[in-house]
Amino acid sequence: MTDLQQPPVAARRPHSFTRHGVTVTDDYAWLRDPGYPDVKDADVLAYLEAENGYFEKAMAPHKALTDALFTEMKGRIKEDDQSVPQKDGDYIYWRAFETGAQYRKWYRKAVAGGEDQLILDEPALADGHDYFRLGAMSVSPDGRYLAYAIDTDGSERFEARIKDLLSGEILPEVIPDTLSSLVWTSDSKGLLYGLANENWRTDNARLHWLGQSVDTDVELFHEDDEGFRVSIGLTSSEKWIVLSTGDHVTTEAWLVPADNPTAAPMLVAGRLPGREYDVDEHDGTLYIRTNDVHPNFRLVKASLDAPARWDEIIAPDPHFYLTDFTLFKGFYVTEGRQDGLDQIELRDYATHTPKRLPFPEASYSASLDDNPEYDVTTLRIGYESMVTPDTIYDYHLATGDLEVLKVQEIPSGYDASRYTTERLMIPARDGTEIPVSIVYPVDLPRDGSAPLHLYGYGAYGLAMEPGFSTGRLSLLDRGFVFALAHIRGGDDLGQQWYLDGKLDKRTNTFTDFVDVAKGLVERGYTSAGKIGISGGSAGGELMGAVINSDPALWGAVVAHVPFVDVLNTMLDETLPLTPGEWPEWGNPIEDKAAFETILSYDPYTNVSAQDYPPLMVTAGLNDPRVTYWEPAKWVAKLRATKTDTKLLLLKTNMGAGHGGKSGRFESLHETAEEFAFLLWQLGVEG
């Protein structure tokens, strides 16, 4: 076992390249196994195992704290929990955990009566595997068959199978390497799916007929642009199958009759660079959400005879970001954010007059929940906030009443009156007001003495919802403030908010995060050096950027599967995700300005000889999104370059991927480890 005072040292093997007249050194490039995803290089594995050993030895003295945190967190989980049953056709469906189980079981029961039927047993499927994840699953329209897909190593290459729910038999046909939803044809005899190609890109939609060999499956659609991905869906009426293709900024959709899947696909509207849209159908009319005239999207309609000729229904609004719409038989629902706060509106097809559902708190998360049927009299809605546990409602259309169906149960007890939540606006250095969702104990001293945990992401137009977390209570109950920074790069305040944090404006994301932290210090919530921060994937890139720019501000940092080798990844078009990522980050191969922008902030390239805060880094050996060598190279370079002796840990999950371990308790234990590290480094152990 490695001595804790002597952390692993990765060999430096000189390597450099020149692009656009700039030479970049990368002495740890060798940590990328050329055989990836089959990692067998002895030196690479030895280094990762040495780092794992160092991690275990460093955390061993704090095992009691980790165990205590885990026990607390587990005590807040109702182990024998189940979802609210929901009707879909002739059956009512629900899922349930049993006490002690890592995974769910899925059930149904006939509406007409009868016994409960176990239709999918995740614990049985996971047995014998270190990792398990259920992907897509879909019951056929006649209720007889269940199609489902599983991943048993974290590589996100799923294996699709089909179960006869009448006999319990698993059909002999097995479809490997799927990476899509599973959509049935109207007659329940055919299944559409998408295969991941050798570069982990779904460039196709295929059709499988039950009872036939998978080798005879037909490709219905193929995408030639290597930056685009194909997805498969179904309209709300279930009359049409939607074949969509696109990248981060452009989409194109085709329609296929669900009762005639081999018919020639009908193009809705051809791809235009920068135009996104999604489509649904009601009584022969297409409804389309698009950003063609404004980044906050509008809703238009078109006829099936002229699908590319659009008439506006809901005009775009600079203060309202239209994020989604769902069609039902007698009405439709739009979802969006008004100045960053979730809104749900019901509209009739004749006048399109909105009826907005009221929500009581200043900061919250609300959305449609599970609503599988087309003709409904109630709507299933989910609501939570940073102090309100997840709550499931039925909204009764006739009366406007909200009926509480389930409130997240916390067995060890929870008193919401002990905490308070706020929504702050903190100015960034360019004057832009950044929203911050914050929760803290009601008796918090506002003298800068409290520790604070700040979380951020800021990429891909993904908003950070101010939801509830039972795990977070372990920090709040130790006097922490928890803050969520709604920084640019997400779409928290609309599509423009996203555009203002990507490509040549990417550094806004990092400076927003730093400025939020400084603003919280100025307001007395905490002090510099008392701030723990964390983020994963692109949020891990955020961690890497802000510890390079403002290392003294942070008291402890956790970077999960961090995307920190941005320049090298975006320069390598052979990597599975790279071509599709250029619209998000820029193409440094062809564009000198993009190269210079990425080079200016790339966390790995910009590691410098300075003091850094204590840092815990995680990776997944099978991760196809952020390859394991990114965090490994980053840690190796930090060890060799930084001027302090503060703790730097790397933990690589050798049998998992992007999301870490898969079981609910194994995942919880990883959270407990993270919190133990933060408490230890911030001096709040206990």
The C-alpha atoms of residue 149 and residue 176 are separated, in whole angstroms, by 9
Residue 2: the pLDDT is: 41
Q: What integer is the mean pLDDT of 634-654?
A: 97
Residue 647: the pLDDT is: 97
Handedness of CA 543, 544, 545, 550 (dihedral sign): positive
DSSP-assigned beta bridge partners for residue 556: 532
- In sequence order, the 6+-apart residues with CB closer than 8 A to the CB of 331 are 346, 347, 348, 349, 397
Q: Rounded to whole angstroms, what are the CA distances from 92 to 185, 403, 484, 608? A: 21, 19, 37, 59
* Residue 658 known to be catalytic: yes
Q: Name the active-site residue from 537, 560, 602, 662.
A: 537
pLDDT tens-digit profile of 47-56? 999 999 999 9
- HEC profile of 584-617: HHCCCCCCHHHHHHHHHHCCCCCCCCCCCCCEEE
Q: Name the active-site residue from 282, 486, 560, 658.
A: 658
Q: Name the active-site residue from 138, 560, 623, 662.
A: 623
- HEC profile of 149-202: EEECCCCCCEEEEEEECCCCCECCCCEEEECCCCEECCCCCEEEECEECCCCCE
DSSP state of 405: E
Is 136 within 8 Å of 150 (Cβ atoms)?
A: no
Q: What integer is the mean pLDDT of 189-203?
A: 92
Please say if the pLDDT value at position 3 is more than 70. no
Residue type, 29: A
Q: What integer is the mean pLDDT of 70-96?
A: 96
Q: Rounded to whole angstroms, what are the CA distances from 504 to 22, 547, 565? A: 19, 21, 17
**The pair of three-digit structure tokens given for residue 593, joined into one six-digit string:** 């300005």
Please say if the pLDDT value at position 664 is more than 90. no
Residue 1: the pLDDT is: 35
- Least confident piece of the model among 251-260, 266-275, 601-610, 624-633: 624-633
Handedness of CA 627, 628, 629, 635 (dihedral sign): positive
Please say if the pLDDT value at position 525 is more than 50. yes
Is 580 within 8 Å of 228 (Cβ atoms)?
A: yes
pLDDT tens-digit profile of 384-443? 999 999 999 999 999 999 999 999 999 999 999 999 999 999 999 999 999 999 999 999
The C-alpha atoms of residue 672 and residue 479 are separated, in whole angstroms, by 17
Please say if the pLDDT value at position 31 is more than 50. yes
| Mean pLDDT value across the chain | 95
> What dotted CATH number matches 43-74+418-681?
3.40.50.1820
The H-or-E segment that residue 542 falls in is helix 538-549
**The pair of three-digit structure tokens given for residue 551, joined into one six-digit string:** 């290392």
**The pair of three-digit structure tokens given for residue 181, joined into one six-digit string:** 């939803």
The H-or-E segment that residue 512 falls in is helix 507-522
- Largest Cα–Cα distance of the chain, in whole Å? 73
Q: What integer is the mean pLDDT of 607-634?
A: 95
The C-alpha atoms of residue 240 and residue 281 are separated, in whole angstroms, by 8
- Phi/psi at 184 (nearest 5 deg)? -85, 150
What percentage of residues in the chain have a pLDDT greater than 70?
98
Please say if the pLDDT value at position 656 is more than 70. no
Is 399 within 8 Å of 488 (Cβ atoms)?
A: no
Q: What is the DSSP string of 104-135?
A: -EEEEEETT----EEEEEHHHHHTT-S--EEE
* Residue 401 known to be catalytic: no
Domain residue spans of the chain = 43-74+418-681, 323-345+354-409
* Residue 244 known to be catalytic: no
What percentage of residues in the chain have a pLDDT greater than 90?
91
Q: How many angstroms from the chain centroid is the CA of residue 471?
A: 18
Q: What is the DSSP string of 624-662?
A: SSS-THHHHHHHHHHHHH-SS---EEEEEETT-BTTB--
The C-alpha atoms of residue 287 and residue 247 are separated, in whole angstroms, by 21
Residue 666: band (very low, low, confident or very high) from pLDDT cuts 50, 70, 90: confident
Q: What integer is the mean pLDDT of 653-676?
A: 82
**Exposed, middle or buried, 172 (CB in 10 Å: 0-12/13-18/19+)?**
exposed
Rg (CA), the chain: 25
Handedness of CA 61, 62, 66, 71 (dihedral sign): positive
Is 611 within 8 Å of 551 (Cβ atoms)?
A: yes
Long-range contacts of 496-503 (CB under 8 A, 24+ apart): 496/295, 496/296, 498/295, 498/460, 498/461, 499/295, 500/432, 501/458, 501/459, 502/459, 502/584, 502/585, 503/584, 503/585, 503/586, 503/594, 503/597
Cis peptide upstream of residue 37 (ω within 30 degrees of 0): yes
Residue type, 601: Y
pTM: 0.92
Is 623 within 8 Å of 537 (Cβ atoms)?
A: no
Residue 4: the pLDDT is: 64
Q: What is the DSSP string of 58-108?
A: HHGGGHHHHHHHHHHHHHTS-TT-BPPPEEETTEEEEEEPPTT-SS-EEEE
pLDDT tens-digit profile of 180-190? 899 999 999 99
The C-alpha atoms of residue 619 and residue 559 are separated, in whole angstroms, by 9
pLDDT tens-digit profile of 232-288? 999 999 999 999 999 989 999 999 999 999 999 999 999 999 999 999 999 999 999
